[in-house]
Structure 1
Amino acid sequence: MTAEHREVPGVPDVPGDEGCLRRVVSVPLAILYLIASFFLCTALSIRPSGGWDDEARAGIALSCVLTLLAGGAAAGIVALRPVCRAVGWWWAAPALLMAVAAAIRWATAQ
């Protein structure tokens, strides 16, 4: 078994399809990573002016939710069995890291 080949129970092995699938999946994943990173940067750059600034906190919450949605969609794509077999779980790491950062920002928005 080579480093490129990953066994996933219940998925038939089709030799040679990993490279094509990897190229096809990388496009939507890259787009979702860019979307998530944009909204994460937005959430991190918004600073409330004071305790009365509910609009800034709403903007932080919206940016964090959109980051979580984009990161969850990317992780969901990677979680599909044929995709996971072709690309591996480490492709979900950027999305999951951005989702964790967004959740922490959302929880600590003051």
Structure 2
Amino acid sequence: MRVLQGQVNKARQLRKAMSLPEVKLWQGLRGRPEGFKFRRQHPSGPYVADFYCHEARLVVEVDGEAHGRGDAPVKDKQRDSWFAAKGLTVLRIPAIAILNDLDTAVAGVVAMAQERIGED
């Protein structure tokens, strides 16, 4: 996948401005749970994934309240379709779920990664 320099710069900016749910999830994923390596704010084509696990070809998106408003659902669907066309699976986690129970959110991400590895 070709990554544009603008997306790399955008990813760097997003890493510095992560939301609280993103920070919390990163705290749970950065220690390589079950051996899976995750990247945060990973540029991919025209998009920047909140988190990405290359081994499992898994994109993890943290969805705050704004994802349910306006044209956000349509944009999210387009984004998910783009990732799917590249052979990636998108897992969307509500921000509130991360804030309410980080351990369960991390376990869900790891379970999806393990499932994806089993599909290959």
Is TM (by shorter chain) over 0.5? no
TM-score (norm 1): 0.28
Q: Which is greater in Rg?
A: 1
Greater fraction helix? 1
Which structure ranks higher in relative contact order (CA pairs < 8 Å, sequence separation ≥ 6)? 1
Greater fraction strand? 2
TM-score (norm 2): 0.26
